[in-house]
Amino acid sequence: SQQGEEDPQALSIQEGENATMNCSYKTSINNLQWYRQNSGRGLVHLILIRSNEREKHSGRLRVTLDTSKKSSSLLITASRAADTASYFCATQLVFGAGTILRVKS
């Protein structure tokens, strides 16, 4: 069964707004990763956060991890139309169902 579960399933925002996606998982982890997928093909790695970290930044991305709640969030600030894609969290071997983000210009 899938460990990672993202919410919302879909998110539509205006360019310039922030987008927040959440992920929950079920078992203990070494790290949690976020990936982006365009057009249903290959995934691109965005950021990895280790189990002993609580927050990590990369450009316009901010990831938080709460191991006590087994949850993580991905925040994209000042969104752009080019951020339109599906976003997945991954723990161990398992990926979640993803959040489809649409940024309207």
72 sits near another protein (criterion: CB under 8 A): no
Minimum CB–partner distance for residue 60 and another protein (Å): 19
Sign of the dihedral defined by the CA atoms of residues 44, 40, 62, 76, in that order: positive
Which residue's CB is nearer to another protein, number 51 or number 105? 51
Are the CB atoms for 61 and 74 separated by under 8 Å?
yes
Q: Which residues, 12 to 71, sit near another protein by CB under 8 A?
A: 30-31, 33, 35, 40-45, 48
Paired with 8 in beta bridges are: none
Given candidates 63, 72, 98, 101, which one binds another protein under the rule CB under 8 A?
98
Which phi and psi angles does 64 have, rounded to 5°? -120, 155
